[in-house]
Structure 1
Amino acid sequence: MPDIGRVNRLTVSRQSPAGFYLDGGNLGDIFLSRKNAPENCQIGDIVDGFIHHHSDGSLIASSKTPLAQLGDVALLKIAQINDTGAFLDWGLDKELLLPYAEHMGEITAGKKALVKIYLDKSYRIVASMKLDEFIEDTAPHLSRGQRFDVIVAGKTELGYKAVIDNEYWGLLYDSDLLRPLRKGETLTAYVKKVRDDGRIDLSIQPINIGGNDIAAKIIAQLEANDGFLAIGDKSPPEAIYSLFGVSKKIFKQAIGRLYKQKRIGIEDQGIRLLKP
């Protein structure tokens, strides 16, 4: 079923003078205005459409891709403020609502707010500045050396809190940084340490992974090879040792753990990195 608040591949099922209707499966027909449709759109075409709500509550689509989608943490400009709340510019004609109940601190039109985009109880796509209600404090399943895109959320006594992959908190230490960071800045960071309590320390420098940290090394190799390695539990021990410097037994144990964590898939021809 298509996802509200995300870009989906949808088929044009019919048209009207005002626009087109996309087959939304269980969601029903989803209207796509001619203004927001691709050029030369026709019945039977498959289009990439961002599904969101019209002001009357019905589902509509746009061929425009917003600056952020459902589940994302993003820094967005405050376009206006009225009795309903603040409205954020996220790249669509219809602005994104930031309800008053989801504000933190003083907000001003023209400035930016760091928000999490989510579905409220009425299934409206809205934003919240209360990131702690959505971001997990711990991520014990992550491994040293893993690379992520992170977004800086704010300053602490030790450094900067950053959101890992829109889901988990991490900490970048001042002592590891070459310059101050800006709230809302997006950068590449690496898991420096998974603490005993499951909290994550980050580094902006790639981590030199030791031979004992084979699981992280496998993930790093997958990321560097477009998510696939032609090596697996049936590969010769020599090939495994040549690539990872460990025995076949240790390698099989490592990919077994990664498979159970749903971080990789094991195929006949090798192993594949799975999306979170």
Structure 2
Amino acid sequence: MSRKIAIQGIKASFHEEAAFKFFGEDIDTIECNSFRATCEALKNKEADYVVMAIENSIAGSILPNYTLLQDYHFSIIGEVYLPIQLHLMALPGVKFEDIKFVESHPIAIRQCIDFFYEYPHIKVVESTDTAACAKKIRDNQLTDTVAIANQLAAKLYGLEIIERRIESNKKNYTRFLILTYPGKSIDGLANKASLSFQVGNEVGSLAKILNIFADKNINLSKIQSMPVLGKRNEYNFYVDIEWNNSPDYDSAIRQVLKYAVNFTIMGEYQKNEEV
């Protein structure tokens, strides 16, 4: 029986590509129109896992998704780094000079902004999903519109790529998290964890925690702060850490608990080396 993977967007989106990379292609993709809907699908046992974008090397962190991690308390059991290659695609036979509109997800548009500076006559239209724009062109036979999407979408929806690799920075990747309900795990030795905590408002409280990690040879690969809703000057810190020696990690966590408030290990998993 195929594993059911909830993704934001539709088939041939970058989320499905990330799901293929992590699970292989023998999966049942559950298409959702928002990140919250993916979480609801997992919560209601309509899906076994969620694949959720959390940061892009050009556009930065996807902050609303940190809120969802906090709201739903799912376990992070893996990560995927996906190189983002963005292509301009249209119905077969459409010429570049015929184009009046380009449609894509706002983050994809932002990653290609240099390309469109040269063509101010083309109107940029934001949409919910890269692959959905490709599907819309196919379904409505739009001859004046192009989509920005991946090669998977061009192939699935029968479009022709008229400009390849239009992203501004060719070293462009998105990091995706693999989420599931607590208690479920994927085999493998963990060497990375995602943590969430708050600290007291006194001087040096965050520094004490960071120094513990440094003293135990724990690499801090990411730190993200988000305001605690409705509380002035209080923040949740989301931290990704990596280690080579498990006892060092265990010892660091025990010490950090003395200084952190609302401390949660959101997931322990194998770091993805492949970018």
Q: Same fold (TM over 0.5)?
A: no
Looking at secondary structure, tell me which structure has more helix per residue: 2
Band the TM-score falls in, shorter-chain normalisation: under 0.3
TM-score by length of 2: 0.23
RCO comparison, higher one (Cα < 8 Å, 6+)? 2
TM-score by length of 1: 0.23
Larger Cα-atom Rg: 1
